[in-house]
Amino acid sequence: MSSLKFGTSGLRGLVTDLVGWPSYAYASAFFRSVAAANGDCRTVVVGRDLRDSSMDIAATVANAAAANGFKAIDCGALPTPALALEAMRLRACAIMVTGSHIPEDRNGLKFYLPDGEITKADEAAIIGALGKFEIDGRIMEVPASVETEVSKRYLKRYIDAFSSDALSGLRIAVYQQSSVARDLLTELLAALGAKGVPIGWSATFVPIDTEAHRPEDVDFIRNVMAGGEFDALVTTDGDADRPLVADGKGRIVRGDVLGMLTARYLRIETIVVPVTAGSRLVRAGSFRDVIRTKVGSPFVIAGMEHMKQSGRTSIGGFEANGGFLLGSNIIMSGGILCALPTRDAILPILATLAAARSGSMALDCLVSSLDVGETASDRLSNISSERSGALLKQLSMMPAVRQFLAPIGIPTAINQQDGIRIELNGGRTIHFRASGNAPELRCYAEASTAAEAQGLVSWGLAAAAAAIKSA
């Protein structure tokens, strides 16, 4: 049975299930669906991250494009939002070969239409067009034309929007690892007045998950920042749509805090966030509208589009992983920052650092000035969707929830918008959901202190593991 499936953002699965004919078939199905819905679109821009498998899969995608009457433009290794921006500029579609933050033995395809990221309805159309490609066949090899200026245009987007001294005087550690934005980020910081110091370059892929931090990454960041040499540390996940920012003391800033700081810096009025964004944080932002959705950028994008249709003109979205989606044009000190309705890691990095500098505050002081409570999250790996689904079904009824949570508190409300999100006495929450990208059960918690939030997550994962094992 193939591991390939659509998750919170695109198709994901084991590399062994994706290379060769499967990636050709899914790309062909996408091109068929695009041709059926938008016959004028006959160009696709193709990008990739730095995984070992991504270059070959990107070549297969280009071959599929040629076989289906599309012109393929090879944009090389670049951030996913840069590729999406190029697709919008050319009124083309796009395919990004990336597994984002998941381990290197997995990879995926992200699909874009001329207006931005595909919707859940578009995913269904791709699956519907897949049937005739189920059996292996011959792949015609046709090289794509090469485009090398896409990353420069993405860089210019931010240089033109921010003032040239937006980050003046800041000294920033750029944890390069295997991020596709590792060189671009250093260059961009310098263009805005900061001193970006590259560290931690890696020849092998590093799976940076901005919601479930690996202990070795936490230790590395803490050790780098211990000397007091830097004002902050920044990096991204593999394809640069999720940011990671640590303050001068080596403490990683929550992704939803980055999102709120970005929205406030941009003076956005309407925000759309998934249920995993902190409740107290969202209330503290003083936004005109706050819309909550299921987890996944397609749901956030749908929410932003709904608010746009409702007449809102200042719209943004962000996720607990820190990725920011800009739903409307924003006037900034340097110029207009045009809408980019896909998850982006670079904007929240720049906006957060600029907010701290403009307020003459250290980043840790800026974050601590927010009364947003504390959150924590982690995961159980290698938990199939069937096993996690059985647990979530069990917890969907209050009697079972009361019994399950008896050791830690009293449940007062249940939200089943995405998984099971339970409000507890004492203003705490605990939230279980199956990952849409990997065989994992994720647990999120909110509480007044970081220790209490982490304690809820640790207890939740242990209790969930025991329940799954005994089932």
- Could you list the active site residues? 100
Find the length of the chain: 471
Amino acid identity at 267? R
Cβ atoms 438, 102 nearer than 8 A: yes
Comparing C-alpha atoms, which of 400, 438, 431, 427 is closest to residue 417? 431
CB 295 within 8 A of CB 420: no
Residue pair 241/356 in contact (Cβ under 8 Å)? The answer is no
Q: Which residues contact 403 (CB under 8 A, 6 or more apart)?
A: none
Q: How many CA atoms lie within 13 A of 226 on its CB side?
A: 7
Cα Dmax for the chain: 62
Of 357, 322, 25, 299, nearest to 165 (Cα)? 357
If phi > 0 it is left, if psi is from -120 to 50 it is alpha, else beta; for residue 61 that is: alpha
Contact 313, 223 (CB under 8 A): no
